[in-house]
Amino acid sequence: MLLLIALAAVLSRGVFIKPTNLLNLVFQNAILGVISFGQLLVILSAGIDLSVGSMLGLSTVLLMIFQFLGLPVALLLTVTIPAVFGAVNGYFVAQRRLPAFVVTLAMMLFVYSLAQVISGGAGIYSGLNGAPLSPVLVSFNRRGLLGVPLPAVVWLLVLAGMALFLRLRLGHFVFAVGGNERAAVFSGVPVTMVRFLAYLGASVLASVGGILAVARVGEGHPAAGQTYLLDSIAAVTIGGASLSGGEGTMIGTLLGVLILGTLNNILNLLNVSPMMQPAVKGVVILLAVYLNGRREQR
């Protein structure tokens, strides 16, 4: 992280390390940060959620079409409906013991298709009956708390909430299930409930990311979360979490998100083609997984 910051500072002639730019870095990566914390929760339980990007896209569509009901009801429905789909993921993975990869892949395709049908496959800029976007959401990105942009504040609140959760007894259960499920069962850990809640939590946080996305661009679109799936997995793995479960930290994931954000800035400063940037990210992810594997073998 320090090497990336030093490189970015040199390439930008010191602009990168200015407080305003660092705040902007946090602001730009708030959506990815929120989703990555949900992905971390699932990966800690030795699973994976491929549906978080589609959940975000569906959330943006739902939030826009429900504007005619008023903002509180729209927010409630935007969080509740993805939570139901997350509960379905949790049921099939935890209760029916189906592979998480297959279950969440199927859910990804289903949710994306549902968002396409609802939106007609295009962006939505107003709710049913032509209801405009709530003024609160319109001005959300322009406001701040003690100089910190509100999307970054939401990200920090999610960070604090997740950090607290993982320190509670139920949070310890998540590590236990991911680390050694058999030992967790013999220790009386409610494995099924823990896994169920992990997938439920990932979907809820994806919907929060969708709300932030609508506040940023003022649009609902089925493909709004397309890039966030792989980036969330990348952030968690770069942050030191083990894909086999049971190992990872909130701070590590936070740094993983910031490393990806800094890497994007550096690639832009170097005028690297957008078509080549995913390849660079792929190399970074592979290197992170390789180093984590070496560390676990020791």
- Tell me the pLDDT tens digit for each residue of 264-294: 877 777 777 888 888 877 887 788 778 777 7
Which CATH number is 2-297 given?
Answer: 1.10.3470
- Tell me the pLDDT tens digit for each residue of 185-217: 999 999 999 999 999 999 999 999 999 999 999
- What is the per-residue pLDDT for 291? 76
How far does the chain reach from its first CA to its final CA, in angstroms? Answer: 23
Long-range residue pairs from 235-240, CB within 8 A, at least 24 positions apart, any chain:
235/32, 235/33, 235/36, 235/39, 235/259, 235/260, 236/36, 236/39, 236/40, 236/43, 237/285, 237/288, 237/289, 237/292, 238/284, 238/285, 238/288, 239/40, 240/288, 240/292
Compute φ and ψ for 117, nearest 5 degrees: -65, -45
Q: How confident is the model at residue 298 (pLDDT cuts 50, 70, 90)?
A: low
Query: Which are the contacts of 238, defined by CB distance < 8 A and separation ≥ 6?
Result: 255, 256, 259, 260, 284, 285, 288
- What is the per-residue pLDDT for 243? 86
Q: Helices 100-119 and 52-65: crossing angle, nearest 10°?
A: 30
**Sign for the pseudo-dihedral over CA of 75, 81, 86, 87:** positive
